[in-house]
Structure 1
Amino acid sequence: MSIPSITELSLLKALWKQQPLSAREIHESVVEELNWSFSSTRKTLERMLEKQMVSQQTLHGVLVYQPSLDKVNTLAAFAHDFGRRVMEMDAPLPVNMFTGSKLVDQRELAELEQLLRDWPTDQE
């Protein structure tokens, strides 16, 4: 799995919270965080479509987007990459670092813990 960039992750998080969303709705969700133009949001969505991170359909005459990447699997890959590349850890990150997150519920937290614990050592 390719790991989303920080900006791609911001757009995915907006979609994981509510979907489907139009490009304008996604932009409004992330504009304060990313402080960029609507055209930057659209360009990022185009790249994410090419990478198959999101899917696109027409709903009531409006193009809308849905995440193609599973939230928990993506967060596990992101956390694994952070632990390995940034923190230089061979062991998985402790799941308690995600406690209190508004992004995952208890079920997803348990799933995330299992994914991090069982992460293949040869997967990069």
Structure 2
Amino acid sequence: MAIPSISELTVLKSLWRQQPLSAREIHQQVEGELGWSYSSTRKTLERMLDKGSVRQHTVHGVLVYEAALEKVDTLAAFAHDFGRRVMEMDTPLPVNMFTGSKLVDENELAQLEQLLHDWPEDGRDEAK
């Protein structure tokens, strides 16, 4: 799985909380964190469409977006990458690091733990 950029992750998090959303609604949710213009939000959404990270369709004449990437899979990829590249760890990060997160519930936390535990160790994870 290709890991989204930090700004793309911010957009995905807004969509995981509520979807579908228009570009304007997404911008309203992310502008405080990212501090950028509406045109930057639109450009990021176009890039994410090209990558397959989001899907676009029309509802009542308005273009709306939905996350195409699953939340738990994406978070597991980030956590795995952080553990491997940043912390130089060969073992999965302990799932208790994510306890108290507002982004995942107990069920998703269990899924995340399983994904991190079962992550391939032979370098093929970049090709997913």
Same-fold call, TM > 0.5?
Answer: yes
How far apart, CA to CA, are the structure 2 residues paired with 1:27 and 1:99? 28
What's the counterpart of residue 63 of structure 1? Answer: 63
What's the counterpart of residue 22 of structure 2? Answer: 22
How far apart, CA to CA, are the structure 2 residues paired with 1:114 and 1:74? 13
Q: Which amino acid counterpart does residue 98 of structure 1 have in structure 2?
A: F
- TM-superposed CA distance for 1:52, in Å, is 0.2
TM-score by length of 1: 0.99
Structure with higher RCO (Cα < 8 A, 6+ apart)? 2
Q: Which amino acid counterpart does residue 73 of structure 1 have in structure 2?
A: D
How far apart, CA to CA, are the structure 2 residues paired with 1:74 and 1:113? 13
2:58 aligns to what SS in structure 1? Answer: strand
2:57 aligns to what SS in structure 1? Answer: strand
How far apart, CA to CA, are the structure 1 residues paired with 2:36 and 2:82? 25
How far apart, CA to CA, are the structure 2 residues paired with 1:98 and 1:28? 27
How far apart, CA to CA, are the structure 2 residues paired with 1:96 and 1:35? 31
Q: Which amino acid counterpart does residue 111 of structure 2 have in structure 1?
A: E
Question: Which runs of at least 4 in structure 1 moved beyond 4 Å after TM superposition?
Answer: none
How far apart, CA to CA, are the structure 1 residues paired with 2:84 and 2:116? 12
Cα deviations across residues 12-39 of structure 1 (Å, max 9, x unaligned)?
0000000000000000001110000000
How far apart, CA to CA, are the structure 2 residues paired with 1:46 and 1:70? 19
The alignment of Structure 1 onto Structure 2 pairs a total of residues equal to: 124
Cα deviations across residues 54-101 of structure 1 (Å, max 9, x unaligned)?
000000100000000000000000100011001111001110111000
> Structure 1: which 5+ residue stretches go unaligned?
none
Identical columns (%): 76
Cα RMSD over matched residues?
0.5
Q: Which amino acid counterpart does residue 36 of structure 2 have in structure 1?
A: W
How far apart, CA to CA, are the structure 1 residues paired with 2:62 and 2:101? 32
Pairing 1:41-120 to 2, within 5 Å after superposition: 41-120=41-120
- TM-superposed CA distance for 1:51, in Å, is 0.1
